[in-house]
Structure 1
Amino acid sequence: MKFAFSLKNKLKTAFLLFCIMCCTLMIRFLEDKSVEKINDSFISMYNDRLVPATDLYFIAENLYYKNAILQEILIGNDALHGSTLLVKMNRHNRKIDSVINKYELTFLVKQEKSYLNEFKKALLAQQHLETKMLNIGSAKDGRTIYKSTGKKAVNQTLAKLSALIKIQSKVGNDLIRDSRIFVSGTKVYSTLQVILAIVIGIMIVNIVSASNMVKITSDKFNLN
């Protein structure tokens, strides 16, 4: 009878310890996942936000220089074709295209893709007008086009680029918020691990105490 009772208690204890072990492993798995997601968020913050934001400012810089060169060409009286300034302007165009191609390889949210497409359309329209102004044959006619539609196209391109730059901050804040959630989850998992460790300690103390009680009872029975 005593043997059956002792075996039953041992089986209950073993089952509880098995459940606690499974919970500990599950918590450990979830904790590792949270740490992995936090790491991914920081990597994405650098690769998909910080670097692209720098590239976008680089595009803005090239647009500024290109517009300055365009105005210098239109103000001058020399032949437009074969101009050194025209070569420099085309160089800036190639740099802008290169950065855009690089930017498209990063992770883009839906709104970001939409803003990028709008910027590319505005940039394409600006480049078409620039080609028209530079190939029209005279600086005077080029200036007329610039004043009527060219300047507006430049401002439109810069506005689209500004919107694309601003969204970097918004998406970055979303990543920070997600990281905070993952950090909070990691703290919860750590607390649960501490609680399970305390439960295991209490169970061990109870098992030892129960074993001592059984031993004392057995000794008394033998003495009688």
Structure 2
Amino acid sequence: MKWSYLIQQKMKAALLLGSVMVLIMVSTLHSQHNLRDIHRSFASIYQDRLMPAIDFVYLTEHMYRKRLLLEQHLLLEGHGTPGQIRQQLGHHNLTIDSLVGAFEKTHLVAQESKSLLTFKNYLQEYQLLEDHILRLSAVGDQAASVALFEQQGTLLFQQAITNLNELTQLQSTIGQELMNESESEMANMALMTSLQVALSIVVGIMLLGIIRSSRILPKHSSQPFHLN
């Protein structure tokens, strides 16, 4: 029955090897899925969080430059005609619209979309107010233009900046959530790798045991048949 015993041992070895191969394949596919998720998370942190945060700095700068430009025109003499100021404000507005458009193309969560829509409404109202102030200045109604700039203009400007700060804070919060997800995925990958190593060691030990036991075959009687 030696051949039968050897076949049994080989079947056990094949079953063990097949099982560990399936487990390793499943864990490898899972690890690849985790890697793709980590890549997407880091790409989103860079493209959808880091770059817009930098753009927000430039956007805020252009808004303050517009505010200063109009203030100097209204309160200080010799700082350009209404037409010249309108042209300079237009250049700033084009840059602002470009930055906002770039942010709109990124992946936005629901709260970001809502906050961005509010910010765009403030921008539009403020640009219309700037145009109204310049028209008043052009016809010589300096008192009315200054009053509009200092009252309604200040309120709209502060609302826009506050809303922009909220968007910036959302960027930070969502970026932190993505980082936490990536750290969780990496911990999961480390666990799967440890599991693969442990499985390989256990199966290796079991295979060695099978090989060793297959060498210790049942002893048959060595007495010649004709002497029985």
TM normalised by structure 1 equals 0.90
2:143 to 140, 144, 164: 140
1:114-133 equivalences under 5 Å are: 114-133=114-133
Q: Greater relative contact order: 1 or 2 (C-alpha under 8 angstroms, separation 6 or more)?
A: 2
The percent identity for this pair of structures is 30
Compute the RMSD of aligned alpha carbons. Answer: 1.9
Shift of 1:31: 1.1
Paired position in structure 1 for 2:220: 221
Task: Give me the whole-angstrom Cα distance separating, in 1, the residues matched to 2:128 and 2:163.
Answer: 17
Task: Give me the whole-angstrom Cα distance separating, in 2, the residues matched to 1:51 and 1:205.
Answer: 56
1:20-99 equivalences under 5 Å are: 20-76=20-76, 80-83=81-84, 85-99=85-99
**Aligned letter for 1:179?**
S
1:18-75 CA distances to partner (integer Å, 9 max, x unpaired)? 1211001110111122122212211211111111000011100000000000111222
Shift of 1:178: 0.2
The answer (yes or no) to whether the contact 2:119–2:163 under 8 Å persists in 1 is yes
Shift of 1:202: 1.1
Paired position in structure 2 for 1:187: 190
Worse-superposed segment, 46-55 or 67-76: 67-76
1:132-165 CA distances to partner (integer Å, 9 max, x unpaired)? 1111223322112113311111111111111111
Task: Give me the whole-angstrom Cα distance separating, in 1, the residues matched to 2:198 and 2:221.
Answer: 41
**Aligned letter for 1:81?**
P
Task: Tell me the secondary structure at the aligned position of residue 216 of structure 2.
Answer: helix
Gaps of 5+ in 2: 224-228
**Aligned letter for 1:221?**
H
Shift of 1:222: 6.9
1:6-26 CA distances to partner (integer Å, 9 max, x unpaired)? 434432332232121100111
Shift of 1:98: 0.6
Task: Tell me the secondary structure at the aligned position of residue 82 of structure 1.
Answer: helix
Shift of 1:2: 4.9
TM normalised by structure 2 equals 0.89
The answer (yes or no) to whether the contact 2:86–2:131 under 8 Å persists in 1 is no
The 1:125/1:149 distance shift into structure 2, 3 A limit, reads: same
Gaps of 5+ in 1: none
The reply on whether 1:176 has 2:174 as its aligned counterpart is no
Task: Give me the whole-angstrom Cα distance separating, in 1, the residues matched to 2:221 and 2:33.
Answer: 56
**Aligned letter for 1:10?**
K
Task: Give me the whole-angstrom Cα distance separating, in 2, the residues matched to 1:80 and 1:160.
Answer: 31
**Aligned letter for 2:82?**
H
Task: Give me the whole-angstrom Cα distance separating, in 1, the residues matched to 2:129 and 2:197.
Answer: 68
The answer (yes or no) to whether the contact 1:48–1:106 under 8 Å persists in 2 is yes
Q: How many equivalent residue pairs?
A: 219
The answer (yes or no) to whether the contact 1:80–1:134 under 8 Å persists in 2 is no
Paired position in structure 2 for 1:152: 155
The reply on whether 1:206 has 2:205 as its aligned counterpart is no
